[in-house]
Amino acid sequence: MVPVHDLGVAALAILGVAFLIGWSSARLNQATLLWGIAHLSLAGATFTGYRYHLQPESLWLGVMATLLTGFFLASLHGGTNFLRGRIIGPGTLIGRSLGVAFLIAVVGIGGDKRAASILVLGLMMLVYGVSAYLCLRMHYRLLAAAFSLKTAAFLLYFLEPSTIGTPFQNPDILSVGWVSSVLLGLVLVDAAIAQTRQRLSNVIKHLPDALVARRLDGKILFCNDRFAQLAGSASPAELEGQQVPLLTREQEEAEAMFRKVNAMVQSGPMDAPMRLERAVTPARGEPFPAEIIFSSYMDLGYPVILGLIRDLSERKRGEEERLHQANTDQLTGLPNRRFLEQQLDAVLWIAHRQHTQCAVLLIDLDHFKKVNDTLGHAFGDELLREIAQALQDQLRPGDLLARLSGDEFALVMAGLPSLMSILEVEARALALLQLIRRQFKSDGMDYQIEASIGVAFSTREGLSAPVLLQRAEVAMYESKARGRGGWCFFESDMDERLAESLRLESALRQAVPRGELRLHYQPIYSCSTGRMTKAEALVRWENPQLGWVPPGRFIPAAEESSLILEVGQWILEEAIRQAAQWRAQSGLAPVISINVSVRQFAQPGFESQVFALLERYGVPPAGIELELTETLLASDQEDLPALLHRLHDAGVGLSLDDFGTGYSSLSYLSRFSLNTVKIDRSFVMGLQESSRNHSLVRAIISMAHSLHLNVVAEGVETWRQYEILKAEGCDYLQGYLLGRPMAADQLRAHPQVLAGEESNIPDAVI
């Protein structure tokens, strides 16, 4: 039969197990774990302690009782401390337990078991008393009372000090101890449950979103503080059992939504949450955008609807900010191309509906790159900001202004009446040009900022924004080509030109890799020796789809894109390779004239590219001549004179092509290091008929000679022209009379010397 005092042991053990079960369902509640350990330890300590008193020779029982008592005291204290947020680790717990056990053992080994019992009793009273005090401070009044009762119960033990902790204690005193222990255990279980509940309610209370649970009749089961605040209540408790207030201005819409959710829930719990975005109007304050999420669950067999209101103001603000940034040019603060294209589509649609017109004025600054490169980007940025501000200041209602890229702005004029709009736009373009035009001096240099404007109108057929912008761009380039600082309206043939150049460009892109390009060579004879001293390399392109494309058509298209760089490099290498081959094969060494376009010269590394090719193929610099255009000399390429000088010094020939057709500025002839001037074919053509042309040719030759330049006459087609040019002292002659452009091997077979007799002149084609 179980001794009566072991009933208390069993009661304590059951309490300990109950705590551990509670802990297994709410693991983060460390108090229940520690109290479980405490009560199991107490049960163990009492069990072994009693037996030690009955068999004092069994020392291990004494050791166990002491150790378990230490565990009991340390874990009970730890559990209570957890309630005020102090968490202890297993190491600390074991350390403290062993410390207490050691203290008891020391006193016990000192020989006085009674003193050890009184010490244990004192420590227990201390721990329970401190726990009572802590609980009182934390307003766990019931728990504080239970701890106090337990502390007080210990006082009874002092009525019979000799029986403390033994099985010989007075059963009445023992009963009071047990009852107080069981009471304390029950209250502790309640406190643990309350703490778990408190934690859950804290989560809901501090949820930033408003949360409400309601029944189908609209009465609130519970809600959190945020919801109560939105509903204008002081606390959630005030709202419980009340009808849910509708937090919206559109009452009808809200009620419909309410009914819809009810109907969904009546037919069973919702499968997935329902999400809506609505403006929520709180009882006090401004409406705000919110996400409302409905879900449902069953509570004691009744459906409950859970509503969550999430404030989206912050997110919306962020989105608006991002949208603003995505649509705004950071430098000037003006709308950017993306925004303009979006808005322009809407403007065009309205114009189409209202039978009005709109115009896009594409404004591109002239010579901005020069300012940027010489005066620095900070200066360039400031200038752009200044111009953007000036453009903005002149805006009229309905206008749309944007910075498209770099130095390119677009102004959209909307709602123009169809008639008269050209005049209005013209006046506006003129005003814009004046507004932008400015001059300034820096470091002794004069700078002039102007703009070129391309204008495109919407049409009846309705154009898309990108097409209209592209048309304005085409017109703007046309305006630049006609001389900067003006404006130009888009015309349909510009479109065809654009399409043609795009077609050519895409076919040309494949021309080099597919080997569709060839070089032909046209002989150039010296008048004094009659020898073929030079040959001009002329590119030929045969495309399977387009057929034979003359260079006059595709070179300008290549120049508009950067394709000319790839094509030009191929020409340069092929011409030098051919020159090397001729030299190696037959000693035939005409100087090869190679046409070079402006963009090739502007390309960094052009000079080293030329020298590298000459070296690779073993051709001396004097074996080639570069044909330049007047456009190159007129371009404001800063380092051009120095670059030409270096090439010239190295021995590379430099000739000015098509002289007389362009700017024909005499200053170019003296300013740049040139060797040769090529008189354009148009002057040679009219030599016989026009005495004016004759005089011009004579003047060009004598002027060139006075500057120590050689003269080549291009396009010599007749024997008469040949005679005149020779008589005028022209140095070299080139033309169909002397030889058409031909493949490299044909040139080898072509007469190398002109005998001066008509019969010796190779097959003239007139």
Query: Contact residues for Mg ion (CB under 5 A)?
Result: 595, 627, 657-658, 714
CB of 522 to ligand C2E, least distance (A): 6
Q: Which is nearer to ligand C2E, 174 or 535 (CB)?
A: 535
Q: Which is nearer to ligand C2E, 16 or 741 (CB)?
A: 741
Q: Which of 436, 450, 431 is nearest to 386 (CA)?
A: 436
| Binding at 728: pick from ligand C2E, Mg ion, none (beta carbon under 5-8 Å per type) | none
Alpha helices (H) in 686-732, listed in sequence order: 691-706, 719-727
Q: Which is nearer to ligand C2E, 478 or 627 (CB)?
A: 627
Crossing angle of helices 113-137 and 141-157, rounded to 10°: 160
410 close to 429: Cβ distance less than 8 angstroms: no
**Tokens 């097409």 belong to which residue?**
467
Q: Which is nearer to Mg ion, 459 or 661 (CB)?
A: 661
What is the C-alpha separation between 649 and 672, in angstroms, rounded?
A: 12
Q: Considering only residues 49, 307, 380, 741, which one is a binding residue for ligand C2E as defined by CB under 6 A?
A: 741
Q: Which is nearer to ligand C2E, 11 or 761 (CB)?
A: 761
CB of 653 to Mg ion, least distance (A): 13
Question: Is 728 an interacting residue with respect to ligand C2E (CB under 6 A)?
Answer: no
Q: Which is nearer to ligand C2E, 630 or 657 (CB)?
A: 657
Q: Per this entry, what is the length of the chain? A: 766
Q: Which is nearer to ligand C2E, 295 or 597 (CB)?
A: 597
| Binding at 730: pick from ligand C2E, Mg ion, none (beta carbon under 5-8 Å per type) | none
What is the C-alpha separation between 70 and 350, in angstroms, rounded?
A: 88
CB of 591 to Mg ion, least distance (A): 13
The piece of 189-197, 323-331, 609-617, 730-738 that touches ligand C2E (CB under 6 A) is 730-738
548 close to 542: Cβ distance less than 8 angstroms: yes
Tokens of 446: 């004069």
- What single letter denotes the amino acid at residue 726? K
CB of 643 to ligand C2E, least distance (A): 17
Instruction: Determine the 3-state secondary structure of 41 from DSSP.
Output: helix
H and E: helices and strands count for the chain:
28, 20
Question: Is 571 an interacting residue with respect to ligand C2E (CB under 6 A)?
Answer: yes
CA distances from 479 to 238, 239, 299, 373, 724 (A): 76, 74, 78, 24, 41
| Binding at 551: pick from ligand C2E, Mg ion, none (beta carbon under 5-8 Å per type) | ligand C2E
Beta bridge partners of 531: 753
CB of 597 to Mg ion, least distance (A): 11
Question: Is 556 an interacting residue with respect to ligand C2E (CB under 6 A)?
Answer: no
Helix (H) / strand (E) containing 712: strand 710-713
Site for ligand C2E in 488-547 (CB under 6 A): 522, 537-539
Those residues whose C-beta lies under 8 Å from the C-beta of residue 406, and which sit 6 or more positions away, are 368
Q: Considering only residues 364, 478, 625, 658, which one is a binding residue for ligand C2E as defined by CB under 6 A?
A: 658
Question: Is 660 an interacting residue with respect to ligand C2E (CB under 6 A)?
Answer: no
Q: Which is nearer to ligand C2E, 356 or 569 (CB)?
A: 569
CB of 619 to ligand C2E, least distance (A): 17
Q: Considering only residues 169, 181, 595, 655, which one is a binding residue for ligand C2E as defined by CB under 6 A?
A: 595
Question: Is 630 an interacting residue with respect to ligand C2E (CB under 6 A)?
Answer: no
CB of 734 to ligand C2E, least distance (A): 6
Question: Is 384 an interacting residue with respect to ligand C2E (CB under 6 A)?
Answer: no
What is the C-alpha separation between 396 and 374, in angstroms, rounded?
A: 35
Q: State the DSSP string of 541-592.
A: EEETTTEEE-HHHHHHHHHHSTHHHHHHHHHHHHHHHHHHHHHHHH---PEE
Q: Which is nearer to ligand C2E, 494 or 555 (CB)?
A: 555
Q: Which is nearer to ligand C2E, 165 or 660 (CB)?
A: 660
| Binding at 736: pick from ligand C2E, Mg ion, none (beta carbon under 5-8 Å per type) | ligand C2E
Question: Is 108 an interacting residue with respect to ligand C2E (CB under 6 A)?
Answer: no
| Binding at 380: pick from Mg ion, ligand C2E, none (beta carbon under 5-8 Å per type) | none
Question: Is 579 an interacting residue with respect to ligand C2E (CB under 6 A)?
Answer: no
Instruction: Determine the 3-state secondary structure of 183 from DSSP.
Output: helix
The piece of 270-278, 437-445, 474-482, 708-716 that touches ligand C2E (CB under 6 A) is 708-716
Q: Which is nearer to Mg ion, 473 or 627 (CB)?
A: 627
Beta strands, E only, 326-467? 357-366, 400-405, 408-416, 438-442, 445-457
Instruction: Determine the 3-state secondary structure of 753 from DSSP.
Output: strand
Tokens of 712: 């080549």
Q: Considering only residues 208, 552, 604, 605, which one is a binding residue for ligand C2E as defined by CB under 6 A?
A: 552
Alpha helices (H) in 208-367, listed in sequence order: 225-231, 236-239, 251-266, 313-327, 337-354
Instruction: Determine the 3-state secondary structure of 321 from DSSP.
Output: helix
566 close to 556: Cβ distance less than 8 angstroms: no
Q: Which is nearer to ligand C2E, 261 or 517 (CB)?
A: 517
Q: Which of 661, 658, 720 is nearest to 689 (CA)?
A: 720
* Number of residues engaging ligand C2E in binding (CB under 6 A): 24
What is the C-alpha separation between 166 and 55, in angstroms, rounded?
A: 12
Question: Is 717 an interacting residue with respect to ligand C2E (CB under 6 A)?
Answer: yes
What is the C-alpha separation between 237 and 694, in angstroms, rounded?
A: 111
Give the interface with ligand C2E as residue ranges (CB under 6 A).
522, 537-539, 550-552, 555, 571, 595-597, 627, 657-658, 681, 714-717, 734-736, 741
